[in-house]
Chains A and B, each alone.
Chain A
């Protein structure tokens, strides 16, 4: 009888049930989407914060002092120590290699450039000029063990912009993974092509496609580089080319590493030498910027890794603010959807007090009546919960795609949690209405005076 009552109630009052079901589905969908977005937002924003560039720099341990003003390096070129380019792929072998978004080696060399000035300026001068040429990876294919990956300034310095007039077939550069339009102007890592900083290009009167004489070598200008920093006065070349010019194959002056890190806390800033083994393990296995620096030092021989404080120190605050904000907004969303579900349930039950009156007049006890309503609510919550979870996952997926152009991963553990919340909220929303429905005097309810 009990099951039949519940079944018939769903069959005969399908429209009313549909309304309550829709409310539950929508509420659960919003809750699922918001929880999914809020749990994933930290990771997403962390990735976006990488557009501020590298947060770690690796230098040789015994390095001499940099003497650099406004992008002009005044240090004798062969002075100081170097890292070995062959050691760099080992960065992918560190414990937190999944968190390392990319790295770029840098090798600055002072070169002489023919100052073939533009005709508008003083044409009689054809003197040579001292310019810094920086060798680096643009989008270099590397392999560590069996793993292949690409890295370079395209990843670690996303604000670098290259201007070039490439038309159609003139873009056979870079890896095939990127659409060719984005590769326009970027030199290949194995070529003899260079990028000219925009202020230097204006000074020399060069455009993309022109030839530029560097230390007597004729090089092609692939594009004009704009960075808003010292590189605007420099030449940026493939690392191999800079090593040839310097005459030191395999030499790298410093490596910029861009890594996703955890905001630092009290543990992060402790000295690993003073830690007990358990604390050391915990420190080592947390993606703090300090522990990643420590691991980079281990991976690259004779190196010193340091956080770039301007980037590393600020991202933690920004990250925790945005995460906190989303958490609070998610709470508001959960509250609003819980209320919507409760309101819908209360309305649905309130409309059925005549039914309650009839059941009680026929001898049903308070407990039986309440059990029937709760069974219906449970069924509604489960159906609405499953439908809402599916809809919410799609919604989260859509938000991830349109805002962050990447997947928002839904943890499977979320499903039982969401379902439990849906059932609890539906019960809570129904409880007050059921109690009132049960307390009615059947006579008044049946006479229609309630």
Chain B
């Protein structure tokens, strides 16, 4: 209680102070004075409100943003769509730029062309032409000792290296009578089929074999619906190609993402409910605590409607103030969680503000109405007598 005995003023002092203050309506004055005089209680109620709104905001922000954040993580698994030339046809030369134009700037598309060449001692080996800069970005898991940088340099799978160039010396490959001389730039290790292949720059590969890319691996961003849509637009843009999802990647991602989202949803619901409970407990205590104000107002002749309106307005004001303050605190918390966990800030979503505001005001009103309903049945005289 802020009106501890020591701070009581004489009636004269109070009258002097009141004379200086502007004459607002009684209703507003009661609202303001109630907040100002019982600072401690009002502050603790507001604090509960702010914390609840902040937690709710942070949870909603995270729930929306985490899916996008996790999708970016999942793109490290590589391509989720492959574009393959239909039998006997080849992809148009500008296929990669067509794909990137069709799907937007965040899409990564890497062309691959394949040929079987012979080594100088007659062994067959698969040679692949690709765009190294793009492959480097798409296939994060490739363990490469050094990426090729100049002409005549090739990236060699660890198992292919044992066959063509076990001592890292330059070697010759033959394809349909044409020979190319290559220097090994680095070794490639993936644990999959890539280990048995030799990778060349696409233009060099094309000069040597005359073959154009037959496969383009595409990493499309977005939800599964967006990817379905992207595949449709790709199929329309490239009639000479089959557009297929990489089911292993697409379904694995959907699976993990759905489980995470469901867990987060359950947790967020629990957290929001708990903080609503906290607000409810604090506010009910606050209103019950003021049953004497309530009784005095009624004893002085206030109508039921005025009293209800007064407490409701007070609760609503608390809810609004708490929601606004809490919203900004919550955005800060969400941004911090994003930075701490995903090394990228969570983008503030102002679209959740109406929900936070509505929720806060609703909880505040409920916690005002419940005790008022209890008090209404009691005679003011009984409350004022202290019973």
Contact A51:B51 (CB < 8 A) given known A37-B267, A317-B76: no
**Does residue A87 face the partner (Cβ distance < 8 Å to B)?**
no
- Residues in B48-99 with C-beta less than 8 Å from chain A: 48, 51-52, 55, 58-59, 62, 66, 69-70, 73-74, 76-78, 84
Q: For B214, list chain A residues within 8 Å (CB).
A: 70
Residues 140-186 (chain A) with a chain B CB within 8 angstroms: 157-159, 161
Contact status of A229 and B248, CB under 8 A, knowing A333-B274, A347-B282: yes
A309 and B141 contact, CB distance less than 8 A: yes
> Which residues of chain A are within 8 angstroms of B69 by Cβ–Cβ distance?
321
B296 within 8 A of A: no
Residue in contact with A159 in the complex, picked from B159, B248, B342, CB distance below 8 Å: B248
Determine whether A350 belongs to the interface, using a CB cutoff of 8 Å to chain B: yes
Instruction: Pick the residue among B70, B191, B277 that contacts A57 (CB under 8 A).
Output: B191
B73 touches A318 (CB 8 A): yes
Complex: chain A residue closest to B214, CB-CB: A70
A339 interface neighbour in B48, B66, B114, B273, Cβ under 8 Å = B48
Q: Complex: how many Å from CA A404 to CA B247? A: 21
Main secondary structure of the interface of A (DSSP, over half): helix
Residue of B244, B266, B342 ringed by the most chain A CB atoms within 10 A: B266
Q: Does B137 contact A (CB under 8 A)?
A: no
Of chain B, the residue at the smallest CB distance from A328 is B337
> In the complex where A68-B126, A318-B70, A336-B278 touch, is A307 in contact with B191 (Cβ < 8 A)?
yes
Q: A34-B267, A34-B270, A308-B192 are in contact. Are A65 and B125 (CB under 8 A)?
A: yes
Q: How many residues of B contact A (CB 8 A)?
A: 81
- A335 to B274 alpha-carbon distance, docked (Å): 10
* Contact yes or no, A326 B263, CB < 8 A: yes
Contacts of A158 in B (CB 8 A): 251
- Chain B, residue nearest A348 (CB): B285
Q: What distance in Å separates the Cβ of B251 from its nearest Cβ neighbour in chain A?
A: 4
Within 8 Å of chain A (Cβ to Cβ): is B177? no
Report the stretch among B102-110, B253-261, B299-307 that lies at the interface: B253-261
Q: What is the distance, in angstroms, from A446's C-beta to the closest C-beta of chain B?
A: 9
- Say yes or no: B251 contacts A51, CB within 8 Å: yes
**Residue pair A51, B274 in contact (C-beta under 8 Å):** no
Segment with Cβ contacts to B, from A42-50, A89-97, A370-378: A42-50
Point out the residue from A53, A309, A322 that lies within 8 Å of B189, measured CB to CB: A309
B-side contacts of A329, CB under 8 Å: 59, 62, 264, 267-268, 271
Question: Which B residues, 276 to 305, have Cβ-Cβ distances below 8 Å to chain A?
Answer: 277-278, 281-282, 284-285, 288-289, 292
Q: Separation in Å of the A48 CB from the closest CB of chain B?
A: 5
Interchain residue pairs with CB less than 8 A apart (14) = A37-B263, A63-B159, A65-B160, A66-B159, A67-B124, A74-B116, A229-B247, A312-B191, A321-B70, A326-B267, A329-B267, A333-B267, A333-B271, A340-B278
Q: Write the residues of chain B forming the contact surface with A, with a CB cutoff of 8 angstroms.
A: 1, 5, 44, 48, 51-52, 55, 58-59, 62, 66, 69-70, 73-74, 76-78, 84, 114, 116, 123-126, 139-143, 159-160, 163, 189-193, 195-196, 214-215, 244-252, 255-256, 259-260, 262-264, 266-268, 270-271, 273-275, 277-278, 281-282, 284-285, 288-289, 292, 333, 337, 340-342, 386
